[in-house]
Amino acid sequence: MTNSNKRVVVTGASSGIGRATAVALANEGWKVVALARREERLRDLVAELGADACEPIVCDVTDDASVQGAVERILAGGQVKALINCAGGAIGQDRIAQCNVEDWRKMYDINVLGTLRITQKLLPALEVAPGGGTVVVISSVAGIEAYEGGAGYCAAKSAERVFAQTLRFEEVGKPLRVIDVSPGMVATEEFSLNRFHGDQAKADAVYAGVPNPLTAEDIAECIRWALDQPDTVDVDSLVVRPRAQASAQRVYHR
Ligand SMILES: NC(=O)c1ccc[n+]([C@@H]2O[C@H](COP(=O)([O-])OP(=O)(O)OC[C@H]3O[C@@H](n4cnc5c(N)ncnc54)[C@H](OP(=O)(O)O)[C@@H]3O)[C@@H](O)[C@H]2O)c1
């Protein structure tokens, strides 16, 4: 049974952490508005969760008009209690001496500006949700620790963490929680594949020999738990790594 007070928007809901979060929250009675660019994948999600629990909206978070259209549909559908900013990812892993400016531009646009575009437009609705609203930002340990070849992604994820901190400052006193979730290595199907421009061997090598990287479901459970705290309890920041990862640079491989 969905609860009409618990309506949550999840960006990046077509795969990986966003999809797992949509499933975890729907199973807890949340009505999920699932956003991503790939309509077919969103349809699969609706088929799994049921049309009562999940409403799909095709949206490209790098496109102002697309986000505006999605927000209008979201608001027309009722109140919004929470927003999970999960759309994002890494492009390339080249050192600063060789990296591509365009890759950096895309990473900033998806991760940082994408989060800004939709959060800014949903803030008024979140702040009038009964009991208050919640913004969750999925940044990364990459936003805390730099690593070789990671500068563009680390800078974007660091900007997302700063976004969350600043929003918390700016909205203090209003009924809004801002939660940053910073995952370490999560073995999702597409994250590394996208990072390495579709090179499956390079993507597989990231996780090869690493005992039990995190799963998308592990992070979804953290998000579910943080959201389920009382409205007045703001889980400021959650840093979650697999046991085999001491830092971005220090990963145990068998
Ligand atoms: N996997 C990890 O190790 C890890 C670790 C720390 C943080 N994170 C962060 O967690 C988030 C999810 O990562 P993941 O591993 O689940 O990656 P993923 O499986 O590649 O999922 C990325 C999601 O973002 C969506 N997306 C990408 N570009 C978009 C755009 N322009 N507009 C709308 N949606 C867009 C994708 O959907 P469409 O392609 O259908 O649009 C997809 O649903 C990302 O922000 C990532 O940076 C991941």
Is there a domain that residue 106 lies in?
yes
Q: List the beta strands (DSSP E) in the chain.
A: 7-11, 31-36, 54-58, 82-85, 133-138, 176-183, 237-240
Closest atom of ligand 1 relative to the 62 alpha carbon: 31
What would the pLDDT profile of 199-225 be if each residue is shown by its tens digit?
999 999 999 999 999 999 999 999 999
Q: What is the pLDDT of residue 76?
A: 98
Q: Is 88 in the pocket of ligand 1 (CB under 6 A)?
A: yes
Is there a domain that residue 253 lies in?
no
- The CATH number of the domain where 150 resides is what? 3.40.50.720
Task: Name the residue of 38, 186, 204, 219 to mutate for ligand 1: max ligand atoms within 8 A of Cβ.
Answer: 186
Q: Is pLDDT of 1 > 90?
A: no
Q: Is 222 in the pocket of ligand 1 (CB under 6 A)?
A: no
Is there a domain that residue 148 lies in?
yes
Neighbouring-strand partners of residue 178 = 135
Distance 142 CA to ligand 1 centre (A): 14
Q: Is 57 in the pocket of ligand 1 (CB under 6 A)?
A: no
What would the pLDDT profile of 132-157 be if each residue is shown by its tens digit?
999 999 999 999 999 999 999 999 99
Residues 114-138 have a mean pLDDT of 98
Residues noted as catalytic: 153
Is there a domain that residue 52 lies in?
yes
Number of domains in the chain: 1
**242 in Cβ contact with 187 (< 8 Å):** no
Domain membership of residue 60 as a residue range: 7-240
Is there a domain that residue 250 lies in?
no
Is there a domain that residue 236 lies in?
yes
Query: CA of 245: how far to CAs of 6, 155, 171, 193, 204, in Å?
Result: 34, 20, 34, 20, 17
Distance 194 CA to ligand 1 centre (A): 9
- What is the pLDDT of the chain when averaged over all its residues? 97
CA 55 to chain CA mean position, Å: 18
Is there a domain that residue 65 lies in?
yes
What would the pLDDT profile of 219-252 be if each residue is shown by its tens digit?
999 999 999 999 999 999 999 999 999 998 899 9
The band of 3, judged by pLDDT with boundaries at 50, 70 and 90, is low
Q: What is the pLDDT of residue 14?
A: 98
Q: What is the pLDDT of residue 65?
A: 98
Distance 180 CA to ligand 1 centre (A): 16
Q: What is the pLDDT of residue 143?
A: 98
What would the pLDDT profile of 65-117 be if each residue is shown by its tens digit?
999 999 999 999 999 999 999 999 999 999 999 999 999 999 999 999 999 99
Tokens at 26, concatenated = 């729907």
Q: Is 16 in the pocket of ligand 1 (CB under 6 A)?
A: yes
The band of 53, judged by pLDDT with boundaries at 50, 70 and 90, is very high
What would the pLDDT profile of 152-177 be if each residue is shown by its tens digit?
999 999 999 999 999 999 999 999 99
Is there a domain that residue 247 lies in?
no
Residues whose CB is less than 8 angstroms from the CB of residue 33 and which lie 6 or more positions away in sequence, other chains included: 7, 8, 9, 10, 54, 55, 57, 74, 77, 80
Residues 37-42 have a mean pLDDT of 98
Q: Whose CA is nearest to atom 42 of ligand 1?
A: 12
The band of 5, judged by pLDDT with boundaries at 50, 70 and 90, is confident
List the one residue out of 78, 174, 74 whose CA is nearest residue 117.
Answer: 74
Q: What is the pLDDT of residue 249?
A: 86
Q: What is the pLDDT of residue 248?
A: 86
Query: What is the DSSP secondary-structure string of 13-49?
Result: TTSHHHHHHHHHHHHTTPEEEEEES-HHHHHHHHHHH
Q: Is 36 in the pocket of ligand 1 (CB under 6 A)?
A: yes
Distance 122 CA to ligand 1 centre (A): 20
